[in-house]
Amino acid sequence: MSLSLTLKELLAPWFDVPQAIANTDVRQLELDSRQIAQGVTFVAIKGHAIDGRQFIASAVSKGANAVIAQACDSKPHGLVEYQNEIAIVYIAELGNILSELAGRLYAQHNNQLIGVTGTNGKTTITQLIAQWLGLVEHRAAVMGTTGNGFLEQLQPAANTTGNAVDVQRTIAQLGEQGAQYTALEVSSHGLVQGRVKALPFVAGVFTNLSRDHLDYHGTMEEYAEAKFTLFTQHECQHAIINVDDAVGAQWIKRLENAIAVSLEPQESGNAVWATSVGYSEQGIDIAFDGMFGAGHFHVPLIGEFNASNVMLALTTLLALGIDKQQLLESAAQLVPVLGRMELFAAQGQAKVVVDYAHTPDALEKALMALRVHCQGKLWAIFGCGGDRDKGKRPMMAEIGERLADKVILSDDNPRSEKAEEIVKDMLAGMCHPSDAVVEHDRFKALQYALNNASAHDIILLAGKGHEDYQVLANETIHYSDRESAQQLLGLTS
């Protein structure tokens, strides 16, 4: 990118940069000293795990042209120091202003942003929005769990929501590549840590809220309030809220002019709702009504929660002024999202559905969605992550036992915990734990299910979705549920 500001222009809202360094050319910002090259400007902040100020000397040695560092008691706001003739400018509350600071350099584009937050459905909704915009001839990109970029060429992302500098830079790069819209998954971590603080959203979408990330937030109330800030502490022109979710039903009362979305009729005029929803093996048929008028469309997706996801995506696009008739006519061309209720089928064998469900709510919804399609027995293969919220382990096992006919407990990402201990925690939630099959190897778990299932059965392989890795105690190995399903069903060439 050919973006450039002087150091004086970049820091103008917070500090009057001395004339001696005022004209230093800032073209690229980096938080990671390992990414520093000649002429790059290093931003040194005290992070949640690492204090970037420890790496100032390293950044200077690698060619940083200036350093913007977080001020502290011994290095007060406005102090300018030098290392090897390179200026180090100390700024107060740098972490809190980082999104705005990065935006001053990178936010020189016409890329309109749509933020999607909630526990489940973020990836599906962002990708449906991007797909749908593409079908009606708008160039759209996504940023989130499965990667950043245009759907046909996603680049891997380390986190659902990147750091404040990377987010601003990626949005600018996508804009430069022709993105008219970018749909972002906005995580609770990203909101709390200010990673999207200065982004102007043309629309914000709330999907649902269920147990997740309590190892970080502590309580469901804190988790909910973190999500709520997308609509109250960020620029957000249109708020689209799923009121079928209990939290969403409360939020709609607190948000003036927000649009309620539901699969049930609504009395509010500021709403879009389904008047009928039909499910078949070919997909979902939805008739709707509300503030944008009535309509009907078909999408080749599975399950009630996908009906909700599609309604949220549709309402968002209608709120942004996208032509309704074009959207309805193109809906049948939408395709399932990678690793999200993705169906793998071979003649004479059980169907395998790969889904990212790794929370109690998501697992419950996935199993309920598949039950209406299942003519035989419904199998569930899943595990729980290590070094994460232990409270959801028995909950997920209870859901599997209650809603599936056959349960196989396997490994997710054990991380530093013993896989046997994770499974033990899960078994504690079952009334008849001896009925569950325990097979730690996910490939062998699916192999067992396919060997023992009939052609009319459906096997849900839950928890990994699009992921092609597994995190163990001392290493990360290549593993993919999608590849396992393709290989065992003989779908690979």
Is 123 annotated as ligand-binding? yes
Is 193 annotated as ligand-binding? yes
Is 31 annotated as ligand-binding? yes
Query: What is the rounded CA–CA span in Å between residue 300 and residue 317?
Result: 19
Is 480 annotated as ligand-binding? no
Is 488 annotated as ligand-binding? no
Is 308 annotated as ligand-binding? no
- Cβ distance 442 to 381 under 8 Å? yes
Is 306 annotated as ligand-binding? no
CA distances from 84 to 57, 357, 421 (A): 9, 52, 53
Q: Is 478 exposed, middle or buried (0-12, 13-18, 19+ CB in 10 A)?
A: exposed
Query: What is the rounded CA–CA span in Å between residue 197 and residue 144?
Result: 16
H or E, element range at 229 = helix 220-232
Query: What is the rounded CA–CA span in Å between residue 111 and residue 103?
Result: 13
Is 463 annotated as ligand-binding? yes
Is 490 annotated as ligand-binding? no
| Angle of helix 442-452 versus helix 481-488 axis, rounded to 10 | 40
Q: What are phi and psi of 278, to 5 degrees?
A: -120, 135
Q: Is 2 exposed, middle or buried (0-12, 13-18, 19+ CB in 10 A)?
A: exposed
Query: What is the rounded CA–CA span in Å between residue 305 and residue 418?
Result: 33
Is 207 annotated as ligand-binding? no
Is 484 annotated as ligand-binding? no
Report CA Rg, the chain: 24
Query: What is the rounded CA–CA span in Å between residue 277 and residue 311?
Result: 11
Q: What are phi and psi of 478, to 5 degrees?
A: -75, 125
Residue 462's nearest CA partner among 353, 307, 330, 360 is 353
Angle at 381 between CA 377 and CA 383, to 5 degrees: 150
Is 33 annotated as ligand-binding? yes
Is 415 annotated as ligand-binding? yes
Query: Residue 406 has which token pair?
Result: 């056959």
Is 120 annotated as ligand-binding? yes
Is 182 annotated as ligand-binding? no
Is 139 annotated as ligand-binding? no
Is 195 annotated as ligand-binding? yes
Query: What is the rounded CA–CA span in Å between residue 206 and residue 475?
Result: 35
CA distances from 454 to 246, 375, 482 (A): 38, 10, 20
Is 388 annotated as ligand-binding? yes
Residue 270's nearest CA partner among 243, 309, 232 is 243
Is 442 annotated as ligand-binding? no
Query: What is the rounded CA–CA span in Å between residue 467 and residue 486?
Result: 15
Is 214 annotated as ligand-binding? no
Is 53 annotated as ligand-binding? no
Could you count the other beta carbons within 10 Å of the beta carbon of residue 493? Answer: 4
Query: What is the rounded CA–CA span in Å between residue 493 and residue 491?
Result: 7
Instruction: Kindly state the DSSP code that residue 412 receives in the 8-state scheme.
Output: S
Beta bridge partner(s), residue 204: 115, 239
Is 474 annotated as ligand-binding? no
Q: Is 215 helix (H, G, I), strand (E, B) or coil?
A: helix
Instruction: Kindly state the DSSP code that residue 373 receives in the 8-state scheme.
Output: T
Annotated binding site for meso-2,6-diaminopimelate: 388, 412-415, 463, 467
Annotated binding site: 31, 33, 118-124, 159-161, 187, 193, 195, 388, 412-415, 463, 467
Annotated binding site for ATP: 118-124
